[in-house]
A and B are shown apart, each in its own frame.
Chain A
């Protein structure tokens, strides 16, 4: 079974608008971390934001925020005020703290920002 599910293969947004990229996860480990990465066409992986399973508040980093709904097992990324440079592939990932250190990735969502 998929541990990380990203159901939106592609998303389109206009500059300056906000966009939400969906991510649901599956784990029985009570302690885990959720990560979002951005991959531009160059291929590099850029870390954006982290949310721990015990964190009470939703994580925020500049224009990025994570809408963490633990009971629903969702960790959606919200990008506010989109910019042309946000066009990229976005990956949601999870690390299960009790079973290992490797990140498990979803299949990604391609975001296209237009002017």
Chain B
């Protein structure tokens, strides 16, 4: 079945550690996105990519890094520079053709700093 797979579902990070969240899609979508969601809040854009080997910062990119070496994959690294990383992280993808192209989301990764 086509879809977006995020792993792991739950992740625990010690202070000062970098961690990488995985996101893979088999929908043949050009665009991929990472959003952060805090309790009771909306989704805030961290990074997005419209094509392989290219990506743009979103509203809250500080302390995060991404790569887009393959069309199917868009991993997010939460670095030690991110001071408050505990949140729910959602990966999404969409076609960039057609105004009505909705974004499809993964199941999310819940990151907790311990």
Contacts and interface: CB of A to CB of B under 8 A. Distances in A.
Interface of B is mostly: strand
Contacts of B104: 47
Contacts of B107: 42-44
Given A33-B99, A47-B104, A102-B58, A107 B42 contact: yes
Contacts, number: 63
Contacts of B35: 105
Contact of B99 (A31, A44, A102, A106): A31
Interface of A is mostly: loop
Given A31-B99, A43-B108, A50-B102, A102 B45 contact: yes
Interface residues of A, number: 27
A101 B88 contact: no
Interface residues of B, number: 27
Contacts of B31: 101-102
8 contacts: A31-B99, A44-B108, A47-B102, A93-B43, A103-B33, A105-B44, A107-B40, A108-B41
Interface of A: 4, 6, 9, 31-33, 35, 42-45, 47, 50, 52, 91, 93, 95, 97, 100-108
Given A93-B43, A107-B41, 16 more contacts: A4-B42, A6-B42, A35-B103, A44-B105, A45-B105, A50-B100, A50-B102, A91-B42, A97-B99, A100-B56, A101-B96, A102-B45, A103-B45, A103-B103, A106-B42, A108-B42
